[in-house]
Amino acid sequence: MWKIVLGALSASGVVGLAVLLNPLALFPAPSVSPLSVQAPASASGIVISEVAAPGAPAPTTPAPTTLVHLFEWTWADIATECETYLGPNGYRAVQISPPQEHIVLPDYGYPWWQRYQPVSYRLESRSGSRAALQDMIHRCRDAGVAVYADAVINHMAGFDSGVGSAGSRFTKYDYPGLYKPEDFNDCHQQVTDYDNAENVTQCELVGLADLNTGSAKVQATLVDYMSELVEMGVAGFRIDAAKHIRNEELGEILAQLRDRHPEVNLYIYQEVIDPGTEAIRKQDYYDSGNVLDFKYGRFVGLAFLGLEGQTLANLQTLGEGWGLAPSAQAVVFTDNHDKQRGHGGGGDYLTYKNGDLYALANVFMLAFPYGKPQVMSSFAFDNSEQGPPTYANGITQPVYQGEASNCFEAWVCEHRWPAIAGMVGFRNAVEPVAEVTDWWSNNANQIAFGRGNRGFVAINREAQPLTHRFQTQLPPGRYCNVAQGGLAANGKVCANDAEVILVNRAGQFTATLPAMSALAIHVEAKLTRLF
């Protein structure tokens, strides 16, 4: 149901000319083996110099390029994916689901959101045991992939009573051996007024037990939890529901954590949903780290969906002037696990269900020099509460069964879609050039732009083909279209049957892009021979 056929490039015999002839999916249909359609993996020979070799030290600096959220994957599957796909394809970091003990809700069908209702800070979750978590962190580190944990530190489980994934029993406001009623804020009512900062930070988000994060005891407990993860090798944290924690209190918690681990340059990015009209503002949290900029995905979605008069041409100026966080502060995304379900304020966000539109939007995000891009990797769902693929007893079904993966079926694996995976290598290759060059558009939904002498991308979101002579700053030569495949190991041919784009001595090439297609070329996917 996700098979959308898009164009592939076929080079003519004239230097500087390429014609899109043969159809190729930008993302695979469920029935196709991911091994036959995946974008360049380790066998492709794409070389990204920053990817750490096995045995490299743990990443301790912020990821300069792309991170991927493997939503609800098990620790064992993430470890395998780091080694076999993420590292070899240039993904710099992986965001994992909350690792702490969480409530278990069989009566609700084991929903995804049970992970966001902590019961204790024991590292036993639906994704696996503490030992499996430790093994995954080490294996991802050795593959050159930093691990960022989703830290749920605003609240505890909101049910009147229940049992956690490690067997711990609790009642609301009483979590044995951890928290008592005095450790929670006095407002035991739900958040109702987003124009009132006290209501947002001191009351209960959808009834979840709101921790008193100003308490020295609570802060120390949270720092101990996060410190254990740092000692295991976690290189950073997504702070869940940061908007619901006073910014000064969150700053105190993170300062204590950093003081305890001065040798680690922890990467922090915070969930602050800021539509620009409420009391809580994302800029209030810049001192603590980066923020997830929810406006970015909405603006990109509006342009690619053609809503509110927006076009791709308008995206040339996408930036702070649109109300976004400064690029250096922003983690950007086309969708995330909340937005693809209409949660977190809803909005016009593209998801895997939009097929080719979604792939093209991710091509834009990974090519455009704004923020740190996060790629979503989902499981298929029919309703917004549905949890990951599970057995009848609630155990998560694996992505990997032996050496074969179940990607493109119940596990969507957008991060493996050829157009998206190929653009991760593009992002790494063009990173030294921070600006857009050689912008071109038809003033509607056909655009192209360069990243200096490092790369060039063209996107046709319209219903008719685009034929154009593009001006780039690239050196002359033969380039692989990385929206289809990268450079093979021998450097002489393109992997995954990707066609060749011929750039002449003036930095020009002519190409025809079919409707709803893209091409991207960069210097790290340039063939070593001219003919």
Distance CA(391)–CA(46), nearest Å, equals 37
On the CB side of 433, how many CA atoms lie within 13 Å of its CA?
A: 22
Q: Domain residues of the chain, as ranges?
A: 62-151+213-293+371-416
On the CB side of 22, how many CA atoms lie within 13 Å of its CA?
A: 10
What Cα–Cα distance (Å) separates residue 110 from each residue in 203, 355, 392, 394? Answer: 26, 27, 10, 6
Distance CA(255)–CA(493), nearest Å, equals 50
Amino acid 515 reads A
- Classify domain 62-151+213-293+371-416 at the CATH superfamily level: Glycosidases (3.20.20.80)
Q: What is the pLDDT of residue 345?
A: 64
SS3 320: helix
pLDDT one digit per residue (tens) for the chain, 531 residues: 332 223 332 222 233 434 333 333 454 543 333 222 333 333 222 222 223 333 333 333 344 589 999 999 999 999 999 999 999 999 999 999 999 999 999 999 999 999 999 999 999 999 999 999 999 999 999 999 999 999 999 999 999 999 999 999 999 999 999 999 999 999 999 999 999 999 999 999 999 999 999 999 999 999 999 999 999 999 999 999 999 999 999 999 999 999 999 999 999 999 999 999 999 999 999 999 999 999 999 999 999 999 999 999 999 999 999 999 999 999 999 999 988 987 766 678 999 999 999 999 999 999 999 999 999 999 999 999 999 999 999 999 999 988 888 999 999 999 999 999 999 999 999 999 999 999 999 999 999 999 999 999 999 999 999 999 999 999 999 999 999 888 887 888 998 888 899 999 999 999 999 999 999 999 999 998 655
Buried b / exposed e along 466-482 (16+ C-beta atoms within 10 A): bebebbbbbebbbbbbb
Active site residues: 240, 271
Q: 453: buried, middle or exposed (CB in 10 Å: 19+, 13-18, 0-12)?
A: middle
Distance CA(170)–CA(188), nearest Å, equals 17
Residues 290, 223, 158: CA angle, nearest 5 degrees = 85
What Cα–Cα distance (Å) separates residue 119 from each residue in 72, 148, 278, 484? Answer: 18, 21, 31, 45
- Find, among 135, 28, 37, 38, the residue nearest to 80 by Cα: 135
Q: What is the pLDDT of residue 531?
A: 52
Q: What is the pLDDT of residue 26?
A: 53
Q: What is the pLDDT of residue 484?
A: 87
- Find, among 138, 132, 131, the residue nearest to 56 by Cα: 138
Radius of gyration of the chain (CA): 23
Q: What is the pLDDT of residue 344?
A: 66
